[in-house]
Homo-oligomer: A and B are copies of this chain.
Amino acid sequence: MADDLAAFRAETRAWLESNCPPEMRTPPRSDADVCWGGRKFQPSSPAQAEWLRAMGERGWTVPDWPAEYGGGGLTAAEAKVLREEMAALACRNPLQSFGISMLGPALLKYGTEEQKHEHLPRIARGEIRWCQGYSEPNAGSDLASLATRAEDMGDHFIVNGQKVWTSYADKADMIFCLVRTDTSSKQGGISFLLFDMEQEGVSTKPIRLISGYSPFCETFFDDVKVPKSNVVGEINKGWDVAKYLLGHEREMISGMGSRGGGASVPDTALHHLGRDEDGRLDDPVLRARIALFEVRSRAFAAMAERFIDTLKAGKAHAAQPSMMKYFGTELNKQRHELLMAAGGHDALEWDSEGSNGGAAPRAWLRTRANSIEGGTSEIQLNIIAKRILDLPGG
């Protein structure tokens, strides 16, 4: 079996070397350079489109999904080899997608065969871009009090209401959405619906954030018609699907703590501040704070690997994603605080050319939302305390 893996590793390496274009072996230059796929997808380069096509065809955008649904059908060990080889060659993630990280796992667990065959392959190939309709105004982290109604019209629902914090709703093709189908119980009367964002009655309005970016929207539903075959899981039991999916969302957001494509904190600091006579970063206290941060960052990278491994092996605690989400997002905020210090005056520029359009402060401000979106840090700590540590309720 070790031999099989070694062979798979060699093949994978060879395939990546001949199929991953050189431009796709550098980190994305900006958010706009990240591939999200979808009907409206405008590749930032021919290489980006080619890389998505090649990986999607092989199912390697979703290596451990079954092949029959467009996945790679790899074992956990093979999928890990693929990740390692992609990392070794610095290959970009070919496709960033809520379909992959959130809806897909939920469909695999709760979807009908028809739903799986309809949606999963198109997610794998990046043809449909999904968004998530959970939060509502005045609900915040308290999802159970949601008010968007879906009225039962026999073979379909009519949906009315409003969502907020819908990530990239203005760029998405379809939405997976929580709606209230029964008002008599709080969590029991919620259903999980899929529908198209291009149909009549759906409108979106981007929310401008303190970073100046608008990754989130307000999303309005005005008599939107949704066939009943688009319910995932049982009617009125959408909460189970939602909870399952939230775990996967946290998993994804927690990944933000790892460095990803961005510049390292030490490199950024060296670039702006230079070295002292001994060759050390020329700001001793900042240097020490960075050094202590790097310990935590590298330790968390080990944790992220362990988390994926235990998750794939079915050994992770069900609430472990909360731990990853909490730690990863807090770490990422610290990282950007240090990047701002490392950038000094330069990092305060908001719109200038030299600052790449204020990339540093905008990214810094953007990270402050990491510990709020997808369930606040406080919610994650509540979950850990109660579900992992078994501490009693208030």
Contact = CB atoms under 8 A, between A and B. Distances in A.
- Oligomeric state, in number of copies? 2
A278 interface: yes
A292 B286 CA distance: 11
A285 interface: yes
Which size bracket describes the interface of A in this complex?
A: 10 to 19
Nearest to A291: B285
A301 B289 CA distance: 25
A6 interface: no
Contacts of A394: 394
A289 B291 CA distance: 12
Interface string A285-325: 10111011000000000000000000000000000000000
Contacts of A280: 284
Contacts of A277: 278
Interface in A242-290: 277-278, 280, 284-285, 287-289
A201 B289 CA distance: 58
Please classify the interface of chain A as helix (H, G, I), strand (E, B), loop, or mixed, using the class held by over half of its residues.
helix
Contacts of A285: 288, 291-292
Nearest to A285: B288
A311 B284 CA distance: 39
A394 B284 CA distance: 44
Contacts of A278: 277-278
A368 to B, nearest CB: 23
A391 to B, nearest CB: 15
Interface of A: 277-278, 280, 284-285, 287-289, 291-292, 394
8 contacts: A277-B278, A284-B284, A285-B288, A285-B291, A287-B288, A288-B288, A288-B289, A394-B394
Given A277-B278, A285-B292, A288-B288, 10 more contacts: A278-B278, A280-B284, A284-B284, A284-B287, A284-B288, A285-B288, A285-B291, A287-B288, A288-B289, A394-B394
